[in-house]
Structures are given as C-alpha cells and as structure tokens.
Amino acid sequence: MASDDWADNALALLANGDREKALAVALSRLRRMPPEDSAWASGTLLLLSGILKMEHTVNERMKEAGMINLVENKVLAPLILQQYEKGRDEGKQEGKQEALLALLLDQITDKFGPLPEWAAQRLHSASAPELHAWAGGSSPAPISKRLCSSLPASHGPSLRRIPVSALSARR
C-alpha cells in the first residue's frame, strides 16, 4: 500500500491483509486520478469488489468519498445500459457474420480448391444477407450456382460458361 501506483493498491485488496485499509488507500488514490484514468480504475475496483464479495462495502465507501456509482444514477444508468446492449448486439452480429464467412470459405475451398484473390476479397466484403444467401439460407441450389449468380461482370462470364455440374463434380 506504500506504492503510488493505483493498480498496486487495488491488488492489495486481493492480499490477505486489511481489506478496509487497502480499500481506503485505493479510493484515496482514485479520487486524485485524472478523469480518463479514474473511469477505468473505478470499473476495475467494482469488478474486484464483485470477485471479493464486498460490493456493498465498496459501494458505500465510494458514496462516502463523494463518487458517483453510474449504475445507480437514474439519468446515466439507462444510457449506459442502452449502449452496452447495443454493443453486445453488434458484437453478436459481427461474430455470426465472421462464423458464416469462415464456414463458407471452408466449404468452398474444400469443394473447389484455393480461391482466386478476387473471390476471397468478394467473400470478405460481402454483407450478412449475401453470405446467408450464398450459404444456402433457404435455397436448394448448389453453392457454385448461388455464388456464380452474383459474380460481377468482370469475373462472371468465364465462370458462368462452366457448367454447374462441372463445378459441383470436383471433390
């Protein structure tokens, strides 16, 4: 607790010492931190308090120190929750799109071999609905037909002249 580094003081909470004293020192240092650092430090302290099952104590000490608990703030809490949920939903969608892209790339390279650079770029730049359609969504058409039907004119004619049966037969 002699350290001036806030992180050292926060870690002292994890040690087998006087947690109340470690918390007092950590909060004292936290109050003197610049705002851009104190937000991260407050979040870390709240996380540690949950791990140590001392949420109530930390919350009370923060109130005593004049610090705002954003989760309890009636104005800020809904905004924070809304942004959290938005970020979570966007992350889920990105994860699904990445998984679908990886699946498509695996299926295509397994069936047809390595992709030309332009084809790989096209897959990587595809929207979620395009990837879903190519993956088969509700279409019974072979993957080669679904992919070739949406090729740009610069690449499509040469591949479109190849019978779909020839593409489907390779394996």
Share of the chain residues as helix, strand and coil, in percent rounded to the nearest 5: 70, 0, 30
In this prediction, residue 149 carries a pLDDT of 57
With beta carbons less than 8 A apart as the criterion, state whether 28 and 44 touch.
no
In this prediction, residue 165 carries a pLDDT of 47
- Report the run of H or E that residue 83 belongs to, with start and end: helix 76-112
In this prediction, residue 159 carries a pLDDT of 46
In this prediction, residue 45 carries a pLDDT of 82
In this prediction, residue 156 carries a pLDDT of 47
Q: Give the CA dihedral 53, 58, 5, 7, nearest 10 degrees.
A: 30
In this prediction, residue 38 carries a pLDDT of 78
| Per-run averaged pLDDT (10 residues), the chain, 171 residues | 75 82 84 80 81 83 74 73 86 91 89 86 88 71 58 50 45 41
So where are the chain's domains?
A: 6-64, 92-169
